[in-house]
Amino acid sequence: MRLFAKIIIVTTSVYTTLGGKPSNVEQLTKANFSERIKWATGGAVVEYRTPWCGGCQMMEKSFNDLANRLSSTAKRIMFATVNCDEEAAICSRFVTVGYPTIVVYHNGSESNFKRFVGYLDKKELDEEVGKELERKKV
């Protein structure tokens, strides 16, 4: 337990020293994907990405900032990423063109969603995802 606490303290200190803020973005895998989407009845915003994708890297800070502003346990709104190099089975279901792909899932359903393909700047990301989260899908 002590080692675990020390690792968290060191990680947090280094991250804060580098000017970062803790992120509300989860990492989804085959093991937790369906469960987490079902939980997010207020909306799940998932970025499908790869480590080598330039647009994904450019959008990372804006996506994290948006997650820190809008994610909510009380409203069951979740932000997450899927590494498509590691989770090809999930990505093949939802990514049809390229990376990054943002998918907003509604009402905890994997079949009720809106997809955005390609890089979105901070303003576009805020507007499009914000509008989509406010929309009530049935």
Those residues with Cβ within 8 angstroms of residue 98's Cβ, 6 or more apart along the chain or in another chain? 117, 118
Q: Count CA atoms closer than 13 A to 10's CA, side-chain side.
A: 6
Domain range list for the chain: 23-134
The hierarchical CATH code for the domain 23-134 is 3.40.30.10
- Sign, CA dihedral 27-72-109-94, equals negative
pTM of the predicted structure, to 2 decimals: 0.81
* Tens digits of pLDDT across the chain (138 residues): 454 444 443 333 334 334 455 679 999 999 999 999 999 999 999 999 999 999 999 999 999 999 999 999 889 999 999 999 999 999 999 887 899 999 999 999 988 899 999 999 999 999 999 999 988 655
Structure-block tokens of residue 6: 């020390």
